[in-house]
Amino acid sequence: MRTSLLTLLIAGVALSGCLEAFDAPREGTSDTADTTSDTSDTSADTSDTGNPPDTGNPPDTNSAPGNPSFSLVYISGHLGHYDSCPDQALPAAGIDGAGQAEPDGASDDAANCVDPCGGWGCEAAELNLRLINNGTVPLTNVVLTDLELLLAPDDFTLPTRAHAVTVDGDTLPTTLGVGEVIDIRVQFTGLLAYRDYRSANSDSDGAFDSDCASTNCGINGARVRAVFASFPLKQEATSPTLYPVTDIDT
Amino acid sequence: MALLLLRTQLVHPASRYRLLAALTLLLAASLGACDGPLAAAEPATTPYLESATERRALLEAALWQPELPYSRELLDSYGFSDLGWELLPEQTSASRPLTVTDAKRLEAGLGLTLGELTEHAPVELPTSRAGWRALGETVFTQLPLREDGYLTWLASRPSRWPDLGVTPNADGTVRGLVVFQARNSRPAVGVTCVFCHGGDGIVGRGDRELDVGAIRAEHAAEGGRDMSELLSWGPGRADVTDDGVPSVTAIPDMWGLGHAQYLNHSGAIAVSAPGTLAVRFETQYIKGHRMRSRPARQLMWAMERFLTGLQPPRESLTPTPSPTPTSDAIRAGRQQFNATCAGCHAPDAGFSGGLVAADTLAVDPAVATTPERGTGSYKVPSLIAVSANAPYFHDGSMPSLEALLESGHPFGVLDTQARQHLLAYLHTL
């Protein structure tokens, strides 16, 4: 399964190279265009409470026969738990090219074990998204092409890598029928401590020079952006701020 | 009065719910009910169960400081009908108690067997108040809130339990620890509410012996990590935040929740209407289950009904010793209380109240100012069964009622006789 996932990931990266040429929507909009009127009200109400969830995909308005289209919706996620396995967290420098890097190998606790691992509570970061084939033709070869962390306060972008992209514990289906809906789980490498990352990099990296007394500096979290492609389309979803798994929460 | 005004200005407006709360209060008052605003109403159903929009409204009314990271996380994901946590699948609600036998097997490296689990979600919902409360109690005691490495570790170290404040029940089960089928279908050790809120085996009593900090520190040390700073928490206390700033709180008793205007010591959650607690519990379970599933909502509602109606079992609580007060002393104490304390500790609200700015109290402001949940204030806690609830204050820093009265806690200096009268009265609450 590991090999096939990796193949998928590499295929995704290779594919995404060609995709840039196509006129597929890359940027999300801040509102889900396909929401019912009562929720778009709700979303509007919450836009002043921080980062509204950005599920960002206008559905294809032109739904003529033969039109491929899909949308991505944010469900949930967290940034994992690396206190007891700091070596498995994202290196401070980040990773160039999301999805390209191979997981560290079979001993990679956080990658292999999504649950409290070996009793030491090591968990991979995770993003759950809903993908809906809202076009008029089946979708083939859906792949994750990009995955990155957006760090507050100014969305400094840090590419990360996926360990597994699954649906119900299995690889992504190769074909997705018209109207089909799947919930995709992306497990990926998170940072050890977002707050520390920010202060550690505030001198070396221009992105962190902004005033750390400002609002978001104390936040131990990040937004996560995932881009999925199915030739010839590309869609992205950005989560609201996600946080590492905490030991107690009440 | 000033406090009331403050709250009215600060609370995130959700006027519909405020109106409902006011009506409920009125109803409660007119019925002469002494069960508290939420408990008295006993609504058969609740907007909470009806729709995402209603849940969203409850959440927004509750998180009156939306800019706090604690609030933001919930506001960003909860109560949207077509995205976020509303799309999560429902959790299974089956578990069985963890037993000393399980623990010994784990200690011997034999692993955990799932065994026979009991499904807690009823086939048919209760139809009576008593039925709902019984279901709520089952949820409070049996439904796994979360699993964690340190809990699994704890379950496998029964020989360490005496030092860590964990006492197995007479029947060989362990309060607050259950076995359930976790993500990936493995058997796992889960924690339930009574792990912390079931002290001395009394459902709803904050555990004063349980040393969560020592459990986590010892677990970490075995894994080669130094978390010895958590040893300073001490028994009966925990830091529930993750903001890098120490803010240790006492594990609270659940008495008086039916009267609560705010939840948590710093009052980060305002109770506006029935359903507020259910929303808090639901989000707690979602986070405990790593945002992969949500609990059955009827169970959260049942737990709210159970907790808001929960009375302390006075016969099982051992009050701090005191000479048996005379009825004259109690009467004088009540007068003193009404004159000195009732402005904050409202007698018709379980002796609880609104929020008080932390810097006007002689207590450590850390919990009130923590970046994650700090509101700048502490809530006025209920004084129901107060004489059995030592130690006192949000951090358990006040050892006894006598010491508290001598401290001048925010009422100023009282003479010996006034203090004795107050003490006599407090013993009757």
For β-strands B173-181 and B187-191, DSSP reports them as antiparallel
B82 to chain A: closest CA residue: A35
CB contact under 8 A, A49 and B66: yes
CB contact under 8 A, B82 and A73: yes
CB contact under 8 A, B183 and A115: yes
Q: What is the residue whose two structure tokens read 């993750």?
A: B242
CB contact under 8 A, A246 and B242: yes
| A243 touches B: beta carbon within 8 Å | yes
- Domain residues for the domain of B40 are 7-85
**Do B251 and B193 meet the contact criterion of CB atoms below 8 Å apart?**
no
Of A34, A42, A77, the CB nearest to B53: A42
Q: Residues B54, B95: one domain?
A: no
Q: Which of B51, B67, B85 is the last residue of a domain?
A: B85
For B113-130, how does the pLDDT look when each residue is reduced to its tens digit (9 = 90+)?
A: 999 999 999 989 999 999
B224 to chain A: closest CA residue: A84
- Higher confidence at residue A179 or residue B315? A179
Report residue B182's pLDDT band, with 50, 70 and 90 as the boundaries: confident
Percent of chain A residues topping a pLDDT of 90:
35
CB contact under 8 A, B240 and A249: yes
For B52-73, how does the pLDDT look when each residue is reduced to its tens digit (9 = 90+)?
A: 999 999 999 999 999 998 999 9
Q: Residues B221, B303: one domain?
A: yes
| A128 touches B: beta carbon within 8 Å | yes
Q: Which residues of B touch A247 (CB under 8 A)?
A: 148, 150, 216, 242
| A58 touches B: beta carbon within 8 Å | no
**Do B14 and B272 meet the contact criterion of CB atoms below 8 Å apart?**
yes
CB contact under 8 A, A249 and B72: no
Q: For residue B184, tell me if it sits in a domain.
A: yes
A73 to chain B: closest CA residue: B83
For A190-243, how does the pLDDT look when each residue is reduced to its tens digit (9 = 90+)?
A: 887 776 665 555 444 434 334 443 344 556 889 999 999 998 899 999 999 999
CB contact under 8 A, A39 and B240: no
What pLDDT does residue B325 have? 79
CB contact under 8 A, A218 and B371: yes
Following CA atoms B171, B176, B177, B179 in sequence, which dihedral angle do they give, to the nearest 10 degrees? 90
Q: Residues B11, B156: one domain?
A: no
Mean pLDDT within A52-61 = 48
Q: A132, A216, A247: which to substitute to probe chain B, counting the most B Cβ within 10 Å? A: A247
Q: Prior bond to B47 cis, omega within 30?
A: no
**Do B154 and B98 meet the contact criterion of CB atoms below 8 Å apart?**
no
What pLDDT does residue B147 have? 87
* Burial class, B321, CB count within 10 angstroms (exposed 0-12 / middle 13-18 / buried 19+): exposed
Q: Residues B205, B286: one domain?
A: yes
Task: Tell me how far apart the alpha carbons of residues B349 and B383 are, in angstroms, rounded to a whole number.
Answer: 10
Q: Residues B127, B202: one domain?
A: yes
Q: What is the CATH number of the domain that holds B365?
A: 1.10.760.10
Q: Residues B193, B63: one domain?
A: no
- Beta carbons within 8 Å of A106's beta carbon, 6+ residues apart: A112
Distance (Å) from the C-alpha of residue B210 to the closest C-alpha of chain A? 14
Least confident of A79-88, A123-132, B189-198: A79-88
Residue A30, pLDDT above cutoff 60: no
| A26 touches B: beta carbon within 8 Å | no
Task: Tell me how far apart the alpha carbons of residues B157 and B166 are, in angstroms, rounded to a whole number.
Answer: 11
- Higher confidence at residue B285 or residue A116? B285
What pLDDT does residue B408 have? 85
Q: Residues B248, B338: one domain?
A: no
Residues in chain B: 429
B205, B314, B300: which is closest to B252 by C-alpha? B205
Percent of chain B residues topping a pLDDT of 70:
89
| A168 touches B: beta carbon within 8 Å | no
Residue B337's φ and ψ, nearest 5 degrees, are -60, -50
Average of per-residue pLDDT values in chain A: 67
Task: Tell me how far apart the alpha carbons of residues B198 and B208 are, in angstroms, rounded to a whole number.
Answer: 9
| A73 touches B: beta carbon within 8 Å | yes
CB contact under 8 A, B77 and A53: yes
Least confident of B156-170, B218-232, B390-404: B218-232
Residues in chain A: 250
**Do B396 and B236 meet the contact criterion of CB atoms below 8 Å apart?**
yes
Q: Residues B182, B60: one domain?
A: no
Q: At what angle do helices B52-62 and B276-288 cross, to 10 degrees?
A: 100
Task: Tell me how far apart the alpha carbons of residues A78 and A220 are, in angstroms, rounded to a whole number.
Answer: 11
Q: Which of B308, B333, B355 is the last residue of a domain?
A: B308
Q: Which of B308, B324, B351 is the last residue of a domain?
A: B308
Residue B422, pLDDT above cutoff 70: yes
For A160-191, how does the pLDDT look when each residue is reduced to its tens digit (9 = 90+)?
A: 999 999 999 899 999 999 999 999 999 999 88
For B242-273, how does the pLDDT look when each residue is reduced to its tens digit (9 = 90+)?
A: 777 889 999 999 999 999 999 999 999 999 99
Distance (Å) from the C-alpha of residue A240 to the closest C-alpha of chain B? 6
Residue B270's φ and ψ, nearest 5 degrees, are -95, 130
Of B69, B77, B240, the CB nearest to A248: B240
Q: Residues B66, B114: one domain?
A: no
- Beta carbons within 8 Å of B219's beta carbon, 6+ residues apart: A119, B149, B150, B153, B154
What pLDDT does residue A7 have? 34
Q: For residue B37, tell me if it sits in a domain.
A: yes
B245 to chain A: closest CA residue: A218
Task: Tell me how far apart the alpha carbons of residues A22 and A229 are, in angstroms, rounded to a whole number.
Answer: 11
Q: Residues B326, B389: one domain?
A: yes
What pLDDT does residue A246 have? 83
Which value does ipTM take for this structure? 0.85
Q: For residue B422, tell me if it sits in a domain.
A: yes
What pLDDT does residue A82 have? 85
Q: For residue B2, tell me if it sits in a domain.
A: no
Mean pLDDT within A92-100 = 46
Beta carbon pairs, A and B, within 8 Å: 157
What pLDDT does residue A196 have? 63
Can you give chain A as a three-state secondary structure string? CHHHHHHHHHHHHHHHHHHCCCCCCCCCCCCCCCCCHHHHHHHHHHHHHCCCCECCCCCCCCCCCCCCCCEEEEEEEECCECCCCHHHCCCCCCCCCCCCCCCCCCCCHHHHCCCCCCCCCCECEEEEEEEECCCCCCEECCEEEEEEEEECCCCEEEECCEEEEEECCEECCCEECCCCEEEEEEEECCCCCHHHHHHHCCCCCHHHCCCCCCHHHHCCCEEEEEEEEECCEEEEEECCCECCCCCCCC
Residue A112, pLDDT above cutoff 70: no
B104-to-A118, B109, B192, B269 alpha-carbon distances in Å: 18, 9, 20, 41
Q: Residues B188, B273: one domain?
A: yes
Q: What is the residue whose two structure tokens read 């008495």?
A: B255
- Beta carbons within 8 Å of A153's beta carbon, 6+ residues apart: A210, A214, A215, A216, A217
What pLDDT does residue A177 have? 96
Of B146, B225, B244, the CB nearest to A195: B244
CB contact under 8 A, A77 and B291: yes
Q: Residues B31, B102: one domain?
A: no
What pLDDT does residue B304 have? 97
**Do A72 and A129 meet the contact criterion of CB atoms below 8 Å apart?**
yes
Counting the structural domains of chain B, the total is 3
